[in-house]
């Protein structure tokens, strides 16, 4: 299932709807689903990191109250490339997220190993693959293997090329998100085509 970062641009929203994509709504942006039935809620940590700002827990809490109950999944707060410190932060939020009743995802970051994350995972608590680009691509098969063993959802962030969509498929990812179609509607053909291409993945399914 593909998700594009939320946009208010009518043309881009139209092509996303036509191709069956969902929206990734960030806690730091406009808290609107634009009428999409499928959407996910991101915590806003990546945007804060890019801006050189601290994580805004208040903004995330407000987003949860408004959109958390209807989201396909909610991404627990994390620290970009923050290793085990990030994992402890995410873990501390899981009980608070449970009241919304949906799927919660724990972001994995540079410095984490599958054995660090495995005890937190279940049918309702999955994996969000973050980290920098090189680490994400190197470790994606391992996260796919862990998701298969734990029977949990596997999502990959910042997927903006056909090549990376294929890597997600090979790892057996259930969903991904990116900003390419958010900014350039013309990329939908290439990216949607890539996600429909059949490959044999590491989780043993076409």
Rounded distance between C-alpha atoms, residue 17 and residue 134, angstroms: 31
Q: Number of structural domains, the chain?
A: 1
Return the beta strands (E) in 43-97 as ranges: 73-75
- Exposure string of 174-188, with b = 16+ CB inside 10 Å and e = fewer, is bbbbbebbbeebebb
More confident: 168 or 49: 168
**Category of 151 on φ-ψ map: left (φ > 0), alpha (ψ -120 to 50) or beta:** left
Determine, yes or no, domain membership for 201.
no
What pLDDT digit, counting tens, does each position of 90-99 carry? 999 999 999 8
Report pLDDT for 205: 44
CATH number, domain at 6?
A: 3.20.20.70
Rounded distance between C-alpha atoms, residue 150 and residue 3, angstroms: 23
pTM for the predicted model, two decimal places: 0.93
Rounded distance between C-alpha atoms, residue 115 and residue 117, angstroms: 5
When pLDDT is averaged across residues 81-88 and rounded to a whole number, the result is 96
What pLDDT digit, counting tens, does each position of 55-72 carry? 899 999 999 999 999 999
Determine, yes or no, domain membership for 204.
no
Report pLDDT for 198: 66
Determine, yes or no, domain membership for 206.
no
Q: Which domain holds residue 121?
A: 2-196
């Amino acid at each position: 299932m593909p998700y594009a970062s939320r946009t208010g641009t009518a043309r881009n929203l139209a092509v996303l709807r036509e191709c069956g994509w969902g929206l990734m709504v960030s806690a730091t942006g406009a808290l609107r689903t634009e009428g999409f039935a499928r959407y996910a809620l991101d915590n806003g940590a990546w945007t804060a990191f890019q801006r050189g700002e601290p994580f805004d827990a208040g903004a995330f809490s407000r987003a949860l109250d408004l959109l958390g109950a209807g989201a396909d999944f909610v991404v627990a707060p994390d620290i970009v490339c923050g290793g085990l410190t990030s994992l402890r932060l995410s873990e501390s939020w899981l009980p608070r997220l449970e009241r919304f009743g949906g799927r919660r995802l724990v972001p994995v970051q540079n410095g984490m190993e599958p054995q660090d994350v495995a005890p937190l995972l279940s049918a309702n608590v999955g994996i969000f693959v973050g980290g920098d680009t090189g680490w994400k691509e190197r470790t994606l098969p391992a996260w796919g293997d862990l998701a298969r063993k734990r029977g949990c959802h596997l999502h990959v962030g910042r997927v903006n090329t056909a090549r990376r969509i294929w890597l997600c498929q090979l790892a057996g990812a259930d969903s991904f998100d990116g900003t390419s179609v958010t900014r350039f509607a013309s990329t939908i053909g290439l990216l949607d085509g890539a996600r429909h291409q059949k490959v044999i993945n590491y989780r043993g399914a076409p």
